[in-house]
Structure 1
Amino acid sequence: MFLEKIKHIQAFILDVDGVLTDGTILVTETGEQHRRFNIKDGYALQLAIKRGYQVVAVSGGRSKGIEHRLKGLGISQIFLGLDSKLETYHNFISRSGLSAGQILYMGDDIPDLPVIKLAGLAVCPADAVQEIKAVCDYISPKNGGEGCVRDVIEKVLKIRGDWHDESPSAHDGSIK
Structure 2
Amino acid sequence: MEYLVTMTTRVPDGTTPDAVDDVRAREAAHTRELAARGRVLRLWRPPLAPGEWRTLGLFTADDADDLERTLTSMPLRVWRTDEVTPLGAHPNDPGAGTVPPVPGTTEHLVTFTLDVPAGASPDTVAERTAGEARRTRELAAQGRLVRLWSLPTPGQALGLWQHADVDELYDDLRSLPLAAWLTVETVPLTPHPSDPGERA
The normalised TM-score by structure 1 is 0.24
Using structure 2 for the length normalisation, give the TM-score.
Answer: 0.22
Q: 1 or 2, which has the higher helix percentage? A: 1
Larger radius of gyration: 2
